[in-house]
Chain A
Amino acid sequence: ETGVTQTPRHLVMGMTNKKSLKCEQHLGHNAMYWYKQSAKKPLELMFVYSLEERVENNSVPSRFSPECPNSSHLFLHLHTLQPEDSALYLCASSQVTQGKSDTQYFGPGTRLTVL
C-alpha cells in the first residue's frame, strides 16, 4: 500500500448505529487530518492531529469522535448521526516541521450515507 488509504470506501448507516472510519498513511508523516466534503461546499476541516496530539477541533459535534493511536493511523468514530452528516469524509496527512506543514496528501475518501 502506498500513500493514504481509507476504509471503508462506502458506508450506509442508520441514525442509531455506531461505526468507525479508518485512515492509514504510508508516507512517514507526523500529522493527520479529517475533512468533510458536502456537495457544492468547500472542504471543511474537522480535526488535526500533530505528533498524535489533537491540535484542532473545528467546532465539530460530539457525535464525531476522532482517535489517533499512532502517527500512521487515524480513526473517526461515528454515533447517532443525522442525515445532514451524509458526505464524503477525507483523510489527509502531511509532515509538520517547526510548526509549519508541508503539502497535505489525501486519501480516496469514505462516502457516508446516513438514513
Chain B
Amino acid sequence: EDQVTQSPEALRLQEGESSSLNCSYTVSGLRGLFWYRQDPGKGPEFLFTLYSAGEEKEKERLKATLTKKESFLHITAPKPEDSATYLCAVYNDYKLSFGAGTTVTVRA
C-alpha cells in the first residue's frame, strides 16, 4: 500500500526565514509526485508535478525537488501570503495517495 509521510506537521516562520518541508513516500511504482497548496476552507490548489529523481521545479518562492524516497518543498524568503497547508501526494494508477500536510504560518 502506498504511504506518504509529511514533516513537520506544522511550521512557524518569520517573514524572510527560508525553510524546507519534507515528503517521504513508499510506492510500488511512482508515476508522479504532486504538491498542492490548500488554504483554510478551500480545495487544494495544484503547484507542481515531479516524475523522476533529480527533477526540480520552481514557482516564485517555492522550489520542489525529488529523490527516490522523498521530496522537498523549499520556501525561500517566505511572505505572510505563503501561509497555507502544503499537501504532497503520490500517483499510482487512478489513485492519488495524500500525506496529512504541513501547515505553514509566516509571521510579518
Contact = CB atoms under 8 A, between A and B. Distances in A.
Nearest to B96: A104
B100 A41 contact: yes
Contacts of A43: 44, 87, 89, 96, 98
A42 B98 contact: yes
A107 B43 contact: yes
Interface size class of A (residues with CB under 8 A): 20 to 34
Contact of B94 (A31, A88, A107): A31
A48 B91 CA distance: 14
Contacts of B34: 103-104
A104 to B, nearest CB: 6
Interface in B71-108: 87, 89, 91, 93-101
Nearest to A31: B94
A106 B94 contact: no
Do most interface residues of chain A lie in helix, strand or loop, or is the interface mixed? strand
Contacts of A108: 42-43
Contacts of A41: 100
B45 A55 contact: no
A56 B94 contact: yes
B43 A40 contact: no
Nearest to B43: A106
Interface of A: 4, 6, 31, 40-43, 45, 48, 50, 55-56, 88, 90, 92, 96, 99-101, 103-109, 111
The 7 closest A-B pairs by CB, nearest first: A106-B43, A43-B98, A42-B98, A106-B44, A108-B43, A42-B100, A48-B94
27 contacts: A4-B43, A31-B94, A42-B98, A42-B99, A42-B101, A43-B87, A43-B89, A43-B96, A43-B98, A45-B95, A45-B97, A48-B94, A48-B95, A50-B94, A56-B95, A90-B43, A96-B94, A99-B93, A101-B91, A103-B34, A104-B34, A106-B43, A106-B44, A106-B45, A109-B41, A109-B42, A109-B43
